[in-house]
Structure 1
Amino acid sequence: MNILVLNVGSATLKFQVVATDGERIAGDQDAKLLRGQIERIGGESVITIRHADGSTRTRTASLRDMRAAVDWLVDHITSPESGTGLTARADIHAVGHRVVHGGEQFRSSVLVDDTVLQGIEDNVELAPLHNPHNLRGIEATRKALGTGVPQVAVFDTAFHHTLPEHAYIYAIPYPLYRRHRIRRYGFHGTSHRSIAYRFRKITGRERGEVRIVTLHLGNGCSACGIRDGVSIDTSMGFTPLEGLVMGTRSGDIDAALLDYIAAKEGLSLSQVEAMLNSQSGLLGISGLTNDMRDLLAEANELNDRRARLAIDIFCYRARKYIGAYLAALGGAEAIVFAGGVGENSPQIRARICEGMEWAGLHVDGTANAALVDGREGRFSTDGSSLHAWVVPTDEELLIARDTYRVVSGVPLPG
């Protein structure tokens, strides 16, 4: 089945075309036919296409809105130039959408119908920066491909619905949860689920044999404690702002700071919240950038104090969460790194793992240095009782597989 996977933002459209049977093709190698992204939708858009042979092409096109972007994409996918082998719109059998927030209603991936669309809209107030764009992507795809092509919503929050009540309830007056569903939802669930699945495959373990801490480290960052294949705790909460230090997000802070900063700086609470989301984290501490590669260069080559401080805080917070989740899990067999930073920065991985010999983790520096550019593997020593791995996340593949299963009526993994 040929699946078009879409991840829609305010002015961006990330996409991938995957041929899959929902589990594996030729030994767990699904056919990834095309991937890329369209940026600056609403004007002269920049389109980056990565073909199956590894070649990349960048072009521009005038795309006035998301409908125009999806139309352009579908036309390209079904053209000889794309190299996908798809020649007509009918060759796109289904579409899978990343949807950020499913609230308490959506606990797994679902076939999109009018009821599901209403449910996604009902959760807009929980994800006002994401769900409206996800809805626009679904509507644009309906118009481009017709209502006969099934669409599936895969929710970022769904994986964390296994959190026990004591992990997701905030210590605030309980009626606030009952009235407004104020609770910890968690995010990056599709990524954490993908990492856990791949870890089981490469280590040959069954779901019930796995206790791991996964770290999705990119511009957005989160940690997750996984036992028996399910999430038992995660660092992001009611919004993606809670938890680890991120590129531009503060992560955990004292809640009283919001009112204090507002009073001192003459800002509204919504302005303070915007500051914590878009001007804080690595960017806020360093005053330079939210890009870890640039911060490492500044620290290593120029010995910039604030760049070093930003890196120190980032790694310390991640290590602190690892310790918390080792306690919550009752011990674990591995820490698994993923995401742009987690997959490509041996220096950050080593820094996060510093001082964890007490837990049985000993880093093999040579193995760690080799794990970049999409390579997966273990970088702890053979004698470690707590191991460290790099397992690149593949959210698009998981979305494609879920889409196949939902459309075909195959049960989703438990």
Structure 2
Amino acid sequence: MTPPTRDDTSGAGTSSTGTSSTGRTAGSSVRGAHGSVLVLNSGSSSLKYQLVHPVGGEAIASGIVERIGESGPGHVKHTFAGNSTTRESPVADHDAALRLAIGLFDEVGPSLAEADVRAVGHRVVHGGARFGEPVLVTDEVLRQIRDLTPLAPLHNPANATGIEVARELMPDVPHVAVFDTAFFRTLPEAASTYAIDRAVAQQHGVRRYGFHGTSHQYVSGKVARVLGRPLEDLNQIVLHLGNGASASAVRGGEAVETSMGLTPLEGLVMGTRSGDIDPAVVFHLVRNAGMSIDEVDELLNKRSGIKGISGENDFRELHEKIADGDRPAKLALDVYVHRLRKYVGAYAAVLGRVDVISFTAGVGENDDEVRAAVMAGLEGFGFAIDPERNAGRVKEPRVISPDWARTTVMVVPTDEELAIARQALTVAQGR
């Protein structure tokens, strides 16, 4: 099998040169036949945005506003037509952040009026049991997103605030909420149910929801298109490896298992998150270390994972430390890879047959050493990679397994912004 070439829908994020890591050209055309979609991702202290042609897949412009509501100046970066404009100024709240972003569209380009914005797509982290599909935002939908705050206290309030401000600033454009959890609504009960008291679980919404769903759905669909095979015929394992990391098992285009759970803390070892851990560790630290629940929360979410073991969560720095003989860095990578291999094996058992394994997101796309380590020694299961095909960063969808392997192993750059844009446009057109 020869590695496939990119099709016209690939892409993931705009670089400072005007061409994305997967070939999407920024600023090549402002007004498309189907208009554009503004995609917003409002975090607790940041706002990421991208203006996208949803049909052709081109990223027209993108930007980020950081340090919202924090002391000191915020950092603003806006990229259009290969040029980046940066600013340093205080950013009091999301209202100020969005006004800054829209001001840069007017000042630097492209004009949102000329871009013919047909919809604004909002990434929302948690949809709970209420939202299994993207929805047109109404006052009631916004209220329900806020009601889900107990399930995502760090994410949903910021998502809701971003939606509220954007609706005020762009009242004549339909706003659509796209949920990270939606793709995993198809999980069978055996996969989504935790073995705790059923009444308690139902009362408090305790179940496996899964996250990064937009990415897992995009990548699994992209695999089918690139290989030219029907999606319904494929059993896939998708490994989304960024600072946050998750795995999914996808049968015929539907998710049947995923590593993240009630929150994004469960599952794989991540940049700063522990992933799977004995729940009694929490009791032990509260009872014997005198830690509060909030302190344990911070420990497991912000001071664990790769950073907790090695002191570093940048994989480039991690590899440099390993080359210098740093033992904690080597241990961190070993733990990271060991957990990944466990999930690959478990999901192979869940699926029964694995047709494709895909690596995606920052680490998955850029770290050939991690990919090689995960697949090493698994030839007996039909999993293998070709060293030459695997070498280096991957900017286009690529097969990295040898021709003889039973399972196709690929690197597929994700594009959550494009996926959100397309879903938002579909909802807006059908309203």
Q: Same fold (TM over 0.5)?
A: yes
Match of 2:48 in 1: 14
**Equivalent-residue separation in structure 1 for 2:314 and 2:416 (angstroms):** 22
Long gaps (5+) in structure 2:
1-34
Q: In the TM superposition, what is the alpha-carbon distance from 1:184 to its structure 2 partner?
A: 0.6
Distance 1:334 1:270 in 2: 40
Q: 1:273 deviation in Å?
A: 2.2
In structure 1, C-alpha distance between the alignment counterparts of 2:419 and 2:196, rounded to whole Å: 35
CA distance in 2, matches of 1:105, 1:87: 32
Match of 1:379 among 394, 400, 417: 400
Which residue of structure 1 aligns with residue 11 of structure 2? Answer: none
Root-mean-square deviation (Å): 1.5
CA distance in 1, matches of 2:384, 2:58: 37
Distance apart, 1:362 and its partner CA: 2.1
Deviation at 1:276, TM superposition (A): 0.8
Give, in whole Å, the separation in 1 of the partners of 2:91 and 2:294. Answer: 32
Instruction: Identify which of 383, 390, 394 aligns with 2:415.
Output: 394
SS in 2 for 1:93: strand
Picking from 94, 108, 127, the partner of 1:102 is 127
1:348 aligned to 2:375? no
1:60 aligned partner: 88
What does 1:248-259 correspond to in 2, within 5 Å?
248-259=272-283
Q: Answer whether contact 1:262 1:269 (CA < 8 A) is retained.
A: yes
CA distance in 1, matches of 2:378, 2:332: 21
Amino acid at match of 1:56: S
Equivalent residue number for residue 153 of structure 2: 128
Q: Is the 8 A contact 1:74 1:89 kept in 2?
A: no
In 1, Cα distance between the equivalents of 2:374 and 2:237?
13
Whether 1:78 aligns to 2:119 is: no
Q: Is the 8 A contact 2:358 2:409 kept in 1?
A: yes
TM-score, with normalisation over the residues of structure 1? Answer: 0.92
Paired position in structure 2 for 1:304: 326
Task: Give per-residue Cα distances to partners, 1:159-184, cap 9 Å, x unaligned.
Answer: 00000000000111111222112101
Deviations 1:267-304 (A, max 9, x none): 12232122111111001111x2111111111002x111
SS in 1 for 2:126: coil
2:64 counterpart (34, 37, 46): 37
Q: Counterpart in 1 of 2:4?
A: none
2:391 partner SS? helix
Deviation track 1:91-128 (CA, whole Å, cap 9, x = no partner) reads 33321000000000000100000111111011111000
Partner of 1:144: 169
Three-state SS of the structure 2 residue aligned to 1:5 is strand
Pairing 1:190-269 to 2, within 5 Å after superposition: 190-269=214-293
Letter in 2 for 1:400: A
Count residues with an aligned counterpart. Answer: 395
1:212 partner SS: strand
CA contact (8 A) 2:400 2:410 kept: yes
Q: Distance in 1 between matches of 2:430 and 2:106?
A: 27
Mark the CA change 1:105 to 1:89 in structure 2 (over 3 Å): closer, same or farther: farther
Distance in 2, Cα, partners of 1:89 & 1:71: 18
Q: What TM-score results when the alignment is normalised by the length of structure 2?
A: 0.89
Name the residue aligned to 1:332: 354
The residue correspondences of 1:277-296 to structure 2 (distance < 5 A) are 277-286=301-310, 288-296=311-319
Distance 1:14 1:190 in 2: 16
The structural deviation recorded for 1:87 is: 5.5
Cα shift at 1:231: 0.6
Q: Which residue of 1 aligns with 2:384?
A: 362
Give the distance between the partners of 1:144 and 1:118, measured in 2 at CA.
Answer: 19
Query: Does the residue aligned with 2:60 lie in a helix, a strand or coil?
Result: strand
Q: Identify the range of structure 1 (239-248 vs 170-179) with the bigger mean alpha-carbon deviation.
A: 170-179
Kept in 1: contact 2:78–2:104 (CA 8 A): no
Letter in 2 for 1:144: L
Identity of aligned residues (%): 45
Query: Following TM superposition, by how much is the alpha carbon of 1:355 offset from its aligned partner in structure 2, in angstroms?
Result: 1.5
Q: In the aligned structure 2, how far is the partner of 1:205 from the partner of 1:334? A: 11
Q: Does structure 1 conserve the Cα–Cα contact (< 8 Å) formed by 2:394 and 2:413?
A: no
Q: Aligned AA for 2:347?
A: Y
Q: 1:206 to 1:78 in 2, by over 3 A?
A: farther
**d(CA) in 2 for partners of 1:71 and 1:44?**
16
After TM superposition, the structure 1 = structure 2 runs for residues 176-191 of structure 1, keeping only pairs within 5 Å, are: 176-191=200-215
Is contact 2:43–2:158 with CA below 8 Å preserved after alignment? yes
Greater RCO between the two (CA within 8 Å, min separation 6)? Answer: 2
